[in-house]
């Protein structure tokens, strides 16, 4: 009973934002501001998980095509903070539903000249119809599944665009154990978080969706990102093979 009560208090405090959102003003404003916020936050976050990402992406070449070239799709590319971890010669397709990320993405590419950008597509992860079936060796998604409208649709699209034997790499913050104080605060903070995180939810049980998806192999482990007391600390990291 305490969680719904606190949520209602938070929602009452956020009433002006809710009204702006209902009128369509908040979304259009925040879509322009969010890339600047992300650029600042992503640099701090990347520093915290640098070794984790190095380890995660260390075997990307294993999934390169028969000619040895890796064709990679990144969903929700944002500012391009993952580019530094991709192998030289990687052929890159980037998608993001927010076109305002484009200039930040191009800046990251100018700092990572070992990559070749084939195309940037303005699209949500739920609808990647511009990407043909079975054309990707690897799909990457980091801190994106927390804010998509429908995880199942995104993972269905991932399976569609991946070639047989290709891999899906992920790093996502997720719901904490339901008996923990972290989960309590995740549920309380969710109404605020979605406004300032561009739809992000703190309490998504993403691992359950991954387990239900028809991957032939799933390599997943739970980690925590410092500081451990913040509600977004619990994460999952790993890759799944089609």
Burial 66-101, CB ≥16 within 10 A → b, else e:
eeeebbbbbbbbbbbbbbbbbeeebbbbbbbbbeeb
Distance CA 204, CA 46 (A): 21
How far apart are the C-alpha atoms of 187 and 211, rounded to whole Å? 23
Q: Are 13 and 189 in contact (CB under 8 A)?
A: no
What was the pLDDT predicted at 128?
96
Read off the pLDDT of residues 128-164 as tens digits, 9 standing for 90 and up. Answer: 999 999 999 999 999 999 999 999 999 999 999 999 9
Its pTM surpasses 0.85: yes
Domains and CATH numbers, the chain: 1-241 (3.40.50.150)
What's the CA angle centered on 172, arms 70 and 32, to 5 degrees? 90
Q: Is 199 left (phi over 0), alpha (psi -120 to 50) or beta?
A: left
Predicted local confidence at residue 28, as pLDDT: 79
User: What integer pLDDT is reported at residue 56 of this predicted model?
Assistant: 98
Contact 131, 121 (CB under 8 A): yes
Per DSSP, what are the bridge partners of residue 126?
none
CA distance 75 to 139: 7
At residue 1, the pLDDT reads: 64
What's the rounded Cα separation, in Å, for the pair 204 and 146?
A: 6
How confident is the model at residue 197, as a pLDDT?
Answer: 85
Let me know how long the chain is: 242
pLDDT beneath 70, residues of the chain? 1
- Report helix angle 102-110 to 25-48, nearest 10: 20
What is the pLDDT, as a whole number, of residue 9?
Answer: 77
Structure tokens at 170: 């992920």
Nearest residue to 30 (alpha-carbon basis) of 205, 231, 196, 200 = 196
Query: How many other C-beta atoms can be found within 10 angstroms of the C-beta atom of residue 204?
Result: 20
């Amino acid at each position: 009973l305490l969680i719904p009560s606190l949520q209602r208090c938070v929602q009452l405090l956020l009433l002006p934002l809710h009204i702006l959102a209902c009128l369509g003003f908040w979304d259009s404003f925040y879509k322009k501001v969010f890339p600047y916020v992300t650029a600042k936050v992503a640099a701090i976050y990347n520093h915290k998980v640098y070794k984790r990402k190095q380890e995660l992406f260390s075997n990307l070449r294993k999934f390169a095509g028969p000619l040895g070239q890796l064709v990679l799709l990144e969903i929700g590319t944002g500012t391009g903070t993952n580019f530094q971890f991709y192998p030289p010669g990687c052929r890159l397709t980037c998608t993001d539903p927010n076109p305002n990320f484009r200039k930040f993405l191009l800046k990251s590419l100018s700092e990572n000249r070992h990559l070749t950008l084939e195309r940037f597509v303005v699209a949500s992860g739920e609808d990647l119809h511009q990407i043909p079936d079975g054309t990707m060796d690897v799909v990457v998604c980091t801190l994106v599944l927390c804010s998509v409208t429908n995880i199942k649709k995104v993972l269905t699209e991932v399976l569609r665009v991946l070639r047989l034997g290709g891999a899906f790499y992920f790093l996502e913050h997720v719901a904490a154990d339901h008996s923990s104080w972290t989960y309590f605060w995740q549920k309380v903070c969710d109404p605020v978080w979605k406004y300032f995180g561009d739809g992000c939810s703190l309490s998504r049980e993403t691992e359950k969706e991954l387990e239900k998806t028809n991957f032939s192999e799933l390599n997943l482990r739970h980690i925590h990102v410092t500081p451990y007391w913040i509600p977004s600390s619990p994460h999952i990291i790993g890759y799944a093979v089609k």
